[in-house]
């Protein structure tokens, strides 16, 4: 049997998972990374700590699968997009900035409000510049931490860092670089005119060589082999942004289907060959390269998803044993049909440029903890629906939505998504879909499948499809509309308090 290793660096955990040629997950292991957040908005991780945790996760996956490194045919990496992992000019590491870092929000707001932003930046990069965008972070670093900025030698993204641990090489690839705000997605090149407009022209030399996602770009080094249990010389392919990885892992190939990721970020996405309607639209959509040739990836996103529940569980359920908390919350939501409380899932940022905060609205003396837990689940669903509804302005209503992310382990949550969206929701039998997408990329990269379509056909499946409950759809969509109105009404309030 042939096996592939996918490694996924998310916002809080690094995971390693092994899959066979049929996409069956044979062993997985994860290690939680330490968040560095000593100042408002900061979200960083220590790079050397992350290296050790990555190798521990790989060892754990091999042990869980009962395999040795000799049995792994190829490795690919994936991870959160945007952010920045810096290699200094002296070869040491600078900060590892995660995609939930919001210190550059004022820079982001200022740039997007600039009268020439659309012409000089968006029409070239096809990226609105959020605080998480690499370009925005670099502008902020130059202004707020000039010494850190001057030390920059090379810039990597999350999955590039993992590949660097394995091979020692410093490179990137097209799906990730196309989402940084540095890349001209129309012409497929680094755009020095955009860098000039952002006043970071000197950073051009820090962008490493760009590869295709499935190109073999190196092999496991002797040092990495000794630390991880992999075989020295194992091929390592370019890898891909986790949004693209989840599209592969859910089998997303047609424009009449959408995918959603419920993880650290709330993400709705679709793939298409034609972006002309999107480019002509009055709104700014996030459009970037897909790993499948001749396709684009279009997505709406914000750091507003299941990480909100993770915070709630860790902070407000001390009386429940840690390993029981997620199952406890699912049972509570299943038994609590309604909540008069609304939760706005902005603990880690927003998509409004309002510096919004996590907010509970509608608390009364009789409110129970169970109602608050249900409100957290609903708030994450409603925020996802806000993104989906923006996409539905330019694409037809899909026949189904393919879901990925940790929340797919919750049947009650997936049913809540189906009932709110009024669209069937399908989930994969795999639990680590980012890693599965990376494994698919690895299999294509070493020639075990002719192309991505061939690999997706063989390596993806559907565990279950959740059909909307007609009796629940109207009530939940009414609550959704109330949520949308409240978000718009609250945006100036959040903004004014953030600047006070």
DSSP string, 153-212: EEEE-HHHHHHHHHH----EEHHHHTTSSSEETTTTEE-HHHHHHHT-GGGGGGS--EE-
Residue 121 pLDDT: 98
**Residue 8 shares a structural domain with residue 139:** yes
Concatenate the DSSP letters of all residues of 394-423 into one string.
TSPPPS-EEEESGGGG-HHHHHHHHHHHTS
d(C-alpha 132, C-alpha 324), whole Å: 33
Length of the chain: 500
Concatenate the DSSP letters of all residues of 206-243 into one string.
GS--EE-TTSEEEE--HHHHHHH-BPTT-EEE--EEHH
Q: What residue has token string 């660097």?
A: 164
CATH for 22:
3.30.420.40
**Residue 317 shares a structural domain with residue 179:** no
Q: Domain limits at 128?
A: 3-242
For residue 260, give the nearest of 422, 77, 433, 481 by alpha carbon.
Answer: 433
The answer to the question of residue 371 being in a domain is yes
Among the three residues 189, 222, 242, which one is the final residue of a domain in this structure? 242
357: three-class secondary structure by DSSP: coil
**Residue 24 shares a structural domain with residue 119:** yes
The answer to the question of residue 439 being in a domain is no
Q: What is the pLDDT of residues 387-398, one digit of tens each?
A: 999 888 888 889
Residue 498 pLDDT: 78
d(C-alpha 321, C-alpha 319), whole Å: 7
Residue 277 pLDDT: 87
The answer to the question of residue 251 being in a domain is no
**Residue 237 shares a structural domain with residue 366:** no
Q: How many domains does the chain have?
A: 2
The answer to the question of residue 448 being in a domain is no
Instruction: Write down the pTM of the prediction.
Output: 0.89
Q: What is the mean pLDDT for each group of 10 consecutive residues in the chain (500 residues)?
A: 96 95 97 94 96 98 98 98 97 95 95 96 96 97 98 98 98 97 97 98 98 97 98 98 94 86 89 90 91 93 91 93 95 92 94 91 95 97 94 88 90 97 93 94 98 96 95 94 96 83
**Residue 312 shares a structural domain with residue 224:** no
The answer to the question of residue 91 being in a domain is yes
67: three-class secondary structure by DSSP: coil
The answer to the question of residue 334 being in a domain is yes
> What mean pLDDT, rounded, does the chain reach?
95
**Residue 55 shares a structural domain with residue 177:** yes
| Beta-carbon contacts of residue 198 (< 8 Å; ≥ 6 apart) | 111, 121, 135, 138, 139
The answer to the question of residue 298 being in a domain is no
**Residue 313 shares a structural domain with residue 236:** no
The answer to the question of residue 259 being in a domain is no
Among the three residues 196, 227, 242, which one is the final residue of a domain in this structure? 242
Among the three residues 210, 225, 242, which one is the final residue of a domain in this structure? 242
Residue 499 pLDDT: 60
């Amino acid at each position: 049997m042939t096996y592939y290793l996918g490694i996924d660096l998310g916002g809080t955990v690094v995971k390693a998972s092994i899959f066979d040629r049929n996409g069956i997950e044979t062993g997985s292991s994860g290690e939680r990374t330490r968040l560095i957040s000593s100042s408002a908005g900061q979200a960083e991780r220590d790079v050397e700590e992350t290296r050790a945790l990555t190798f521990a996760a790989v060892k754990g996956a091999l042990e869980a699968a009962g395999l040795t490194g000799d049995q792994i045919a190829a490795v690919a990496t994936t991870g959160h997009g945007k952010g920045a992992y810096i290699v200094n000019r002296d070869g040491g590491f600078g900060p590892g900035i995660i995609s939930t870092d919001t210190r550059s929000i004022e820079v982001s707001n200022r740039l997007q409000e600039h009268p020439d932003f659309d012409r000089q930046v968006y029409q070239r990069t096809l990226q609105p510049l959020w605080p998480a965008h690499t370009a925005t972070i670099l502008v902020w670093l130059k202004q707020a931490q000039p010494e850190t900025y001057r030390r920059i030698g090379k810039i990597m993204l999350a999955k590039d860092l993992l590949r660097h641990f394995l091979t020692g090489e410093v490179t990137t690839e097209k799906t990730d670089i196309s989402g940084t705000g540095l890349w001209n997605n129309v012409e497929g090149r680094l755009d020095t005119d955009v860098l000039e407009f952002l006043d970071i022209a000197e950073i051009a030399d820090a962008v490493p060589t760009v590869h295709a996602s499935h190109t073999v770009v190196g092999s496991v080094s002797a040092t990495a082999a000794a630390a991880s249990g992999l075989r020295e010389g194992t091929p390592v392919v370019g890898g891909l942004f986790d949004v693209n990885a989840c599209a592969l892992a859910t089998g997303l190939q047609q424009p009449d289907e959408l995918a959603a990721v419920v993880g650290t970020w709330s993400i709705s996405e679709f793939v298409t060959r034609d972006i002309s309607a999107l480019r002509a639209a009055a709104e700014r959509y996030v459009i970037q390269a897909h790993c499948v040739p001749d396709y684009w990836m279009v997505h709406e996103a914000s750091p507003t998803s299941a990480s909100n529940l993770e915070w709630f569980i860790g902070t407000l359920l001390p009386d429940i044993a840690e390993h029981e908390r997620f199952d406890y919350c699912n049972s509570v939501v299943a038994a609590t049909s309604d909540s008069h409380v609304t939760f706005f899932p902005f603990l880690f940022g927003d998509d409004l440029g309002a510096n919004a905060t996590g907010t509970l609205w509608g608390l009364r003396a009789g409110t129970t903890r169970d109602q608050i837990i249900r409100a957290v689940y609903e708030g994450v669903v409603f925020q996802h629906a806000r993104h989906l509804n923006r996409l539905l302005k330019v694409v037809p209503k899909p026949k189904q939505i393919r879901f990925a992310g940790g929340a797919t382990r919750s049947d009650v949550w997936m049913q809540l998504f189906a009932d709110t969206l009024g669209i069937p929701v399908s989930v994969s039998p795999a639990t680590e879909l980012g890693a599965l997408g990376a494994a698919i990329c690895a299999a294509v990269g070493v020639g075990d499948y002719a192309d991505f379509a061939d690999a997706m056909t063989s390596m993806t499946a559907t565990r279950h499809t959740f059909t909307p409950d007609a009796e629940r759809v109207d009530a939940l969509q009414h609550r959704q509309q109330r949520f949308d109105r409240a978000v718009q009404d609250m945006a100036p309030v959040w903004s004014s308090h953030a600047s006070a």
